[in-house]
Structure formats: structure tokens, C-alpha cells
Amino acid sequence: MEILALVLSSSLASAVISTVLGGMISGWLKRIDYADEYYRQVLQRRIEAYELLEAEIGILKQSCLADDGKAYHLIFAYGINSFYDLQKGLMAVMAKSLWLSDELQDIVVSINRELLDASFIAQDDEELVNVGKEKYQKIASLRHQLEQRFSHDIGALHQIKYFLKKKAKSKHEFSLFEINSHVNS
């Protein structure tokens, strides 16, 4: 009888321990799966934002020389409506800026400010080209910074924990863009 009691109690203890350990391991694995799925979702959103930005960079890379020898980005030559389309694209990128690095976000904001400024100055297609000539160096410099930062970020896009920690500590604030001084009366 003692042997039977011993076997039953050790079997019962073994079953209890197996169940408890199995439950703990199962819970641990579910938490890992949850975290992995969360990181996959964050990565996917980051990829979507960077894809939008990549298209805008491609548009900003196209430049030409005018008859007077001054350079300007072609987006200034396609007319005001196409220019507004570029701005809409940048606004779409800015709407997803939560998924961009702070450094990249700052450059996108700077380019957008230059383009907004141009849109408030130019009243027709000819003025738009002239404004494009005036802003060529500034926009070209910002676009270069944008490409460099974009390339840097792409190499670290998968580092989700680092990105989230950095975003949590971010003090990024948008400053207002004053348009009153730019609007023609």
C-alpha cells in the first residue's frame, strides 16, 4: 500500500508540477509572440512611411537649368497644381511622421516649410519657376540631408526597441509657420 501511495503521490506531484510549469512556459511564449507581432506591426508602419517619403525624394531629385543658367527643381516647372500635389505628398509623409526618426522628421518639416513658403510667394507658373531658382540651393541641401538620413535610417529600420525608446524620450515639437508676411495684399 505504501508503494502505491508513494507512486500515486509522486505521479500527482509530477502532474501538478508539469501543469504549472507548462502554464508558465505557455504564458511566456504567448507574451513573446505578442511582442513579436507588435514589433512586426510597428516595422510595417515604419516601412509604409519610408515608402511614401522615398517617392517624394525621387520627385525632388529632378533638376534642370533655365535659359539664364540658374538651376531649379523640375517640380517648380510643372505648374502650380503639380507643385501642390508634391506638397500633398509631403503632408501625407508628415501625417505618418510618428514612424520616422526625429532627425528625418525635422528635415521633412524644413523642406515642407520651404515649399509652403514658395507656394505663398508664387501666384502663377512663371513666378513659381523664379521662386524655385531662388530656393534651389536651400532645397537641394535639405534634399541631400534627407537622402543621407533616409539611407541611415533604412539600415536601422528593424531596430524597433531602440526606435521606440528614442521616440518615448523625444521632445519633438512643431513650431508654427507664419504666413502673414508671405501673403501678397
- What is the per-residue pLDDT across 99-117, written as a single tens digit (0 to 9) for each? 999 999 999 999 999 999 9
What is the pLDDT confidence band of residue 185, given thresholds at 50, 70 and 90? Answer: very low
pLDDT exceeds cutoff 70 at 7? no
pTM of full prediction above 0.75: yes
Question: Which whole number is the average pLDDT over 18-28?
Answer: 78
26 CB-contact burial (10 Å; exposed 0-12 / middle 13-18 / buried 19+): exposed
